[in-house]
Structure 1
């Protein structure tokens, strides 16, 4: 757990790193080395749903007001909507650090449309598709 933002808000904000899986392969990725090391040792690169829920429960017990789901890429997890739903049921405001690609899926947007206190941080790595896609090493990621 990482506490941050307390000086600004007086409330505990917790980052929940769900793992290392991602649908991009960004040139500047700071977690790729960790992911590759875990894979080389045949270890899991992502938290299980149970592990993630247990961490959310612990953050709730500690009185956190906000949780930021991060990774890798949190939106590609099969349990993404369930994690957001559970976090909100415990009263968390939920931030999501995402590359935004999964948000092009109408079904995902429909599934999260009714949630409140949900905030997305989506990086753009340039002002053109050519530049952005070169950085992410995924054709079409800008769109």
Structure 2
């Protein structure tokens, strides 16, 4: 025992250690989410700045940047899921890299994620057409 006056048994100590481990994991997840969001929001601000620099009459440029803003905004939850899944692989929570994100890693239901990815692909094609 660490301190005999605490009168805690091994079960109590293990419970405290498990609680501290869960707090640590949640703190790491929060940090991962903050870094992922910071990256995506920085991209969003950069595109918004470019948008504001355009002339009001640059319709094609404004449309292209609006599509980029939409794509970045829609992909925020997917970026978070990806960051959490990578964190779990890095910290050994999920040792199989080829296994898709588990339900524990998922922020949105699978169908919503697929819908967002589908819309992102369509927007990417639209953006490509505007660049030509």
TM-score of the two chains, using structure 1 as the length reference = 0.23
Higher share in helix:
2
Larger radius of gyration: 2
TM-score of the two chains, using structure 2 as the length reference = 0.24
Higher share in strand:
1
